Amino acid sequence: MTMMLYNSLTRKIEPLETIEPGVVRMYVCGVTPYDEAHIGHAMSAIVFDVIRRYLEYRGYTVRHIVNFTDVDDKIIARAETMGVDPLHLSAQLAEEFLAQLQDLNVLPATAYPRVSQTIPEIRAFVEGLIAKGYAYPAEGDVYFRVHKDEDYGKLSGRSLADMFTGTRFEVDPRKESPADFALWKAARPGEPAWQSPWGEGRPGWHIECSAMCMKHLGEQMDIHGGGSDLVFPHHENEIAQSESLTDKQFARFWVHNGMLQLVNPVTRQVEKMSKSLGNVVTIASFLAQYDADVLRLIVLSSSYRSPLTYNTAVANDNARKLERLLSALQPPVGSVETGEVVADLASAVVTTQAFFTRVMDQDFNTAGAVAALFDLVRAINSARDAGVGGAPFAAAQAALRELGGVLGLRLDPSRRERNQDIAPFIQLLIELRAELRTSKQYALADHVRMRLAELGITLEDGPQGTRWKIG
């Protein structure tokens, strides 16, 4: 079957046809590392990890690029309050997030470019837009002429006239139009800055991704992804500046995941996760309570394009689902390897594999794929009850692990049980070590770290505290 994928640009499900046969060039907008990563960040990472895993399962080579916006107003503001260097803060938080992605079983991207590492390409990009008349300098800043791009708004479906009535633009007398957006910003005291033909400064938000895309994937790509909150203005502006420079279609498919929402335990109202509301669920806090497969099952339970509602009840329900999946991986109790029950199990494996592929080919229908896994779980458990064992039983379990792996599920009972058993004790030692450091008993604090390391437990200190992992 031909793989079908929803395209946010055309608002249709279309056949996946790649620029280069057998190769998918995919760029996904990553995080702005100014604070500890939360499960909303994890949701987006998991969505595109599953897309990448399934494309590879279907035989594609995937060049998967995920960026870090490590130069940003939020980073600068937080670094100032902490009294640290902005680039040092963003680098530390980026590395912390990468470690958490590993904990979540997210495959490493082909590359993780950062804005601070792409300055020459960004400058050249801006110069090219100025040369073509799409951009203009203004007292150290450089702006993109939105009105010159005739199809501006094609991704979001907004006309320029609608934007003027429905969008609050920054008032700046230096801009030719209120809708024009910054490609380069003049330096301000205390901010990271680089030399440019327009004076010292730093890139605007939107130009960063276009430059990183082209540096790592070329002028055109197959899939450009990110959260649905990025459709306007970020992705709209990426299209405008990129296609104005190259006169080529920037991305064949635009893929957007829905946003994560929380249910307020008091009001029962669905609300956006926000630091101001005090309802942020960090990745670290989630993993301290649940297996990583639980979060992945939550994400897989609905279409990647739909909003995802989260609360403790949802987490607990998916923890129970994980237990049901793991039940099929228990050892057999019998040794039957022939007969009707064995034939039924083999048939269930073939049926599951076919259904799994069919639904995933239709815009990555993960809910249908998970349902197929549970059908196989029932078949395996029934076969165990009927005394099936040996090679047929092992083959069915291997099929379950393989298909679960395509979705990024580890399905590892020993890992879950070990983490749950030792987590309270490790947390106690982390708190003890923190108290020792506070009282300046550094030798004893280092001894706690070293002894844990000898036992295979790694401690990682970050801006948000200390986290641990096995290995």
Domains of the chain: 18-262 (3.40.50.620), 321-413 (1.20.120.640), 419-470 (no CATH)
At 466, is the secondary structure helix, strand, or coil? strand
Average pLDDT over residues 285-297: 93
With residue 136 as reference, give the H or E element that holds it: strand 135-138
- Average predicted confidence (pLDDT) for the chain: 92
Residue pair 253/50 in contact by the 8 Å Cβ criterion: no
Sign of CA dihedral 159, 162, 167, 168: positive
Question: What tokens appear for 114 in the block?
Answer: 């950062």
End-to-end CA distance of the chain: 41
**How far apart are alpha carbons 392 and 377 in whole angstroms?**
14
Q: Within a 10 A sphere around the Cβ of 289, how many other Cβ atoms?
A: 14
Q: What is the crossing angle of helices 312-327 and 292-300, to 10°?
A: 100
**How far apart are alpha carbons 462 and 97 in whole angstroms?**
10
Tell me what pLDDT residue 144 has: 98
Residue 161 pLDDT > 70:
yes
Tell me what pLDDT residue 335 has: 95
Could you report the per-residue pLDDT of 310-320, keeping only the tens digit for each?
998 899 999 99
Residue 157 pLDDT > 80:
yes
Residue 462 pLDDT > 80:
no
Could you report the per-residue pLDDT of 4-45, keeping only the tens digit for each?
999 999 999 999 999 999 999 999 999 999 999 999 999 999
What pTM does this model have?
A: 0.88
Could you report the per-residue pLDDT of 163-195, keeping only the tens digit for each?
766 566 667 889 999 899 999 999 999 899 999
